[in-house]
């Protein structure tokens, strides 16, 4: 299959990424090439084959339900681009409308 520009725009929207006109052409071309490449999977017969979802063979690994501090508030905020006392600080979310 071939993607068109509108699909790329929709996928970019879902990915929270934006591309200028030039980049859009390039990414459309790259994605179409990659789709051609992964298309070969359709030739593999997978009738009656269940998807492989878990890579470990462990079943029900449980732990005691004890409350513990695994990361302090201060540590959690160490890499925040912006913070205010004990909070992450972000641009205003609510508008006037």
Partner 1 sequence: MLNEDAIIIGRLNCDEFAMGSSNENSIYGPVLNPHDLTKVPGGSSGGSAAAVAEGLCLASLGSDTGGSIRQPASFCGVVGLKPSYGRVSRHGLIAYGSSFDQIGPLTNNIEDAAIIMEVIAGQDDYDSTSSNEPVPEYSNSLKSLPKSLHIAVPSEYLNSNAIDNEIKDDFINKIAQLKELGHKVKEVSFPYVDSLIPTYYVLTTAEASSNLARYDGAHYGYRSKNSKDIETTYFKTRSEGFGLEVKRRIMLGTFVLSAGYYDAYYTKALRVRRLIKDKTDELFKAHDLILLPTAPTTAFGLDEIKDPIKMYLQDIFTVHANIAGNPAISIPLGNHTNNMPFGIQLMTNKFEEEKLLACASYMMNELN
Residues at the site binding partner 1, with contacts judged by CB under 8 A? 3, 7-8, 10-12, 14-19, 27, 30-31, 33-35, 37-42, 44, 46, 49-53, 55-56, 58, 61, 63, 70, 79-82, 88, 90-93, 95
In this complex, which beta carbon is closest to partner 1, that of residue 56 or of residue 72?
56
- Tell me how far, at minimum, the Cβ of 72 lies from partner 1, in Å: 15
Q: Burial level of 77, CB count in 10 A (0-12/13-18/19+)?
A: middle
Structure-derived torsion over alpha carbons of residues 37, 39, 45, 47, reported in degrees to the nearest 10: 140
The smaller minimum CB distance to partner 1, of residues 25 and 34, is found at: 34
Closest approach, Cβ 57 to partner 1, in A, equals: 8
Q: How far is the CB of 62 from partner 1 (least distance, A)?
A: 10
Residue 7 Ramachandran class (φ > 0 left, ψ -120 to 50 alpha, else beta): alpha
Nearest-10 crossing angle of helices 5-15, 21-38: 100
């Amino acid at each position: 299959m071939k993607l068109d520009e509108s699909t790329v725009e929709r996928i970019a929207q879902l990915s929270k990424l934006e591309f200028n006109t030039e980049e859009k052409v390039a990414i459309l071309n790259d994605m179409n090439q990659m789709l051609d490449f992964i298309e070969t999977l359709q030739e593999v017969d997978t009738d009656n084959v269940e998807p492989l979802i878990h890579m470990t063979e462990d079943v029900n690994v449980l732990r005691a339900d004890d409350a513990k501090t695994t990361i302090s508030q201060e540590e959690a905020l160490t890499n925040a681009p912006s913070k205010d006392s004990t909070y992450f600080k972000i641009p205003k979310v609510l508008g006037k409308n």
